[in-house]
Structure 1
Amino acid sequence: MFNKIILLYSAVMMVLFVTAAVLVYQYQLQRIIREETDANMKTAQVLSIYLNRQYENIQNTIQQIYGDATLSDDLVYFLNNPYENYLGYRLNQFTKTNEQRLRSYSTLVKNYMEQEPGAKRVSIYSYPRKFGMSFEREKEKQQLQYESDSDGSWNNWLMTRRAYTWDTVGNSPEADTTEKSSSIPMYSYRRELQDPWTLDRIGMLVVDFDSKQLASWLSSRVPATHGQMLVMTSQGKVLYDSTGEYVGQDYPYRYELNTAGKWIDLDEPSKINVLDTGNAGLTVIGVVSKSTIEASTGSLRNTLILITLLFFVASFVLTSTVMRKYSKKIRRIIVSMSRIGEGDLSTRIQMPGEDELQQISQRFNDMCERLEQYIDKMYTSEIKQKHAELVALQSQINPHFLYNTLESIRMKAYSEGARDVGKMVYSLSVMFKGMVKKDTVITIKEEIEMCSIYLDLLQIRYEGRIEVAIEVEPAVNGCSIIKLLVQPIVENYMVHGFRSLDEDNRVRISALREGERIIITVQDNGNGIPAERMQEIDKMLSGSYQLSSNLMEKSNPSIGLINVHDRIRMNYGEEYGLSVSSEPGKGTEVRMEIPMLKEGIL
């Protein structure tokens, strides 16, 4: 049986360990997903701040041009006239103002490139003259370029640039042969320039940004990049991709971006974060793929599997050891029980330790001892019962002769006019008939009536010096009781507590129900019991006082109470019996508790 228990327990523990490991793994997985997603969102926010700063720097530069009449006039003249004329214009302005350093749009552009480390090249194109001026960071020079292609090619390029504010570098007139063959990724921002007086479109400003500078700045702010980061235009073209996969292409999953926060199918199931950069018109996309998360949870999964196996092995070994220990103890108990079953009541279980089996063994030993005591007690009780039956048989010898004799005395008393004597003889006859009946169990009503007749005799004898009160609850009248339990208590009062010279003697008998018990109380205002004697009576009633031979004499004032108490406990159980309370000179109260049993049930 214990092998089956071990197997069952091991299976249950295995299921519990696996379940716990799965729950822990799921919890940690959700935590890692949340951390990776939050870190990816933080990276997206940092990237958005960088792009917004680039956009605002460009806008601030353009605002400076339009807000300064000298700079705006300088730029307008440059875009509307041949470059040779522009140089002459600059010389004339220098002569008129007589300033050592004359402000110009080129100076402003160079200042912008110094402040913006991500700007690789700034180009300004003239629509009327079809040439452009480029300012490059690495070569630290400015270069004038003329468009040599046909008007159709120039117009196509112009329309494309007007349609796309942000774009990748590679397909534009400003990219020379060296740039087109270069592998350095760049993205550009374009804005048309207008004449502030006529509002005619006269040129375009193009700023090329280095993607490597963006990546370098991002790594300095976020050392550990979580997931894939992309920057996408409003038309869906990818300007920047941390993996380099979609740069310059239309993002194929741009229509699934409205399901941020959920798992969506991109190249693989992924979580995404989408962040708009405001006025710049760009969207930053953060992608955390499932493979990235699984790579982060691989060590966790292996650790949980190893811990689960270790716990299972440890649990199996521990369970087997404990079960074998308890198995030996239980076998010892079974052997002892078998010996008890064979009749050897002297068997005792010697069980070491302080566990539940040791307590069972102790209770088993106590049970064997009580069983032996019970057998001895029942044997003694049977002997006493046989003796009582013998006494009862002797008392029933020729009872009709006694009845007839008492009846003759009663009739003689009435004929002589002694009615009180006749009444006493009649009461004595009735009480005698009840006492010699063979029934040992009667109703409470019959027991109380016997006490009432006994007290009637005493009232006649003492001519009104005793007052009797009897209260019996109707619900208990029909309940059964052992015969002669109440009368000896009343008789004990009359013998030891009654004050024959006083006329205010009172005795009260009550029988009431309390739950499933019947409480019979005999209360008097007699002499009471001295304190020393009450201590002896309490010890006798509790069973902690052994009666000596002289205490067993009939003259002992407590022998009647002890006999009634023993009869109650013998027939009803140890939880029932008498309790006595007394105060010298004020009276005594005897309280009897018996179970509430219907007539005929003992």
Structure 2
Amino acid sequence: MFGHFRKISLIKQIVYLILIMLIILLISFIVSNSIAKSTVELKVTESATKIMLQVEETITSFYKDMDGISYSLLYSPTIQSYLGTNEILSRILMNNDIASQFSSTLALKENIRGIQIYDNESKMIASEGRSIEPLAVSRVSDIRYSGIMRNASGGLYYTIAVPIYNLQNNYVLKDYRGMSLFIMDVSNFDTILNKSKITPNAKLMLLDNANKIISSTNVESVITDFDTEAWRKDSRYIVQEITLSYTGWKIVSVIPKDELLQDLDTVKQLNVATYVIIFSIFCLFLLIFYGRILKPVKSLLDFVKSYAKSGGRRRFNIVYHNEIGVLADNLNKMLDDIDMLSSDVQIAQKQMYEAEIVKKQMEIAAYRNQINPHFLYNTLECIRAMAFYYKADDIADISASLSNMFRYSVKGDNIVTVQDEIAHLKEYAAIIDFRFRGKIQVVIQADETLLAEQTLKMLLQPIVENAVFHGLERKIDPGKVTVIISRTSGNRIRLSISDNGLGMNVDKLKELKACLHQFEEPGFMMNTGDKGIGLANIYRRMKLFYGDQADMEIESDLNTGTTVSIAFLADKLLLETGDAAHA
């Protein structure tokens, strides 16, 4: 799709981009309006929740006061004595005191319209204030709030039933003596709810346990059922509900969404006007773009197409004195520079080809001047024969070892067995033993299962020679080189060459490791000078044959020794033997 878009004309691309921007802008307006609605609803919901919590706190505080009042009344000595006697005469004598206690309690809260006391046999024995019809249940074990009720005269009330126990006995036994019934007015709830309205037409209701309306704002009738779930399903309203822990009653808030979003209509109209203005600006931009940019660019493009066919000294005629004119002027200058540089490029290419030919000729001359190693080991065979003739056995042995080493080095195969490498190393070890008269010892430990495995030729001996020359030759005490050939995980062969020689410091070790990677560059053999076959050469040969399947690690401590470890994957050569001969 993107490739198709790049193929159409620039004016169509601009039109498409403008349409996309307008669509995005329209979507942003719709989304922003939706987000604004959601934000307003969320904020109002949070505000309504806070208000409902405040209402809950007010009602809870009211009932905590009622708990204190009921406890102060019912557990006073007068009430306890009144319930503690069953004698009619004693109760008659205490009636005045009971009436006085009730009157004092009724004066504490104007919502308390009446008080009744029932004995432990559910018989009403005292009453003050408003009377109600006898209750179906007149015995309770804990404080119980009734739902809303209507008396014979049409008044609304609810009751609070409080059990009375004997405080003289153990509280665990709960010696039940009777029950007190407080007859409560609901008018105080109207005041609390009306003060907590959020919007003019919002409804804030208090429902009892049977979902009957106890008190409400904007609702004419009470003691009617209110279906909270039905209102919640209506998308035109925001419905919230809180259950009071003391009574089990519910505070329900119903807020019309239309009242919340009235102010957003103005914002919507402003968005529409903004959209129209932006559309007009885009149209004006399109006209200016075509006349001042697209048309000059088209003229410049036509010139470039015609110049590619005709070429020559022709240049673009500058008419527009804006950025397009500057671009055309730079184009004319670039064409002049191209004409001037083309001849320089041809001369430079000619010089480069001549230099490459000279380089190849020098390499051919270097190859011709190399010494033929066959001449060397043939000469050594002659020396060995003469040593036998003159009975110089030591000279004969060392000549034989040296001859075998040269013969091994000039063999055509670059791939040998591990056993061949060990045999070659033993020849070198014999020479070292004769040369240093047993001062330097070469110990070889090889896994016999690896002797037939293939490996790259000339890996072990150069590293051992390096250990002898740099680590042990200048050491006063006897030295030892330990060669361990083992198999590691993943079918890898590991060659470890350790010496107990002079070692090297940290800086020299870092320099040596850096030298390994320098020899990965092509043509390194021409830059080795007189270094001979070293670790860097071995490392590069391994990389040529094994690639990433081979690695080399060097560890060394000053005056302790050096360990060189080589690991490669068996039978995973990147170059065949024939190709390796040219590497």
Report the TM-score when normalising by structure 2.
Answer: 0.47
Computing the radius of gyration from Cα coordinates, the structure with the larger value is 1
Task: Between the two structures, name the one with larger relative contact order (CA 8 Å, sep ≥ 6).
Answer: 1
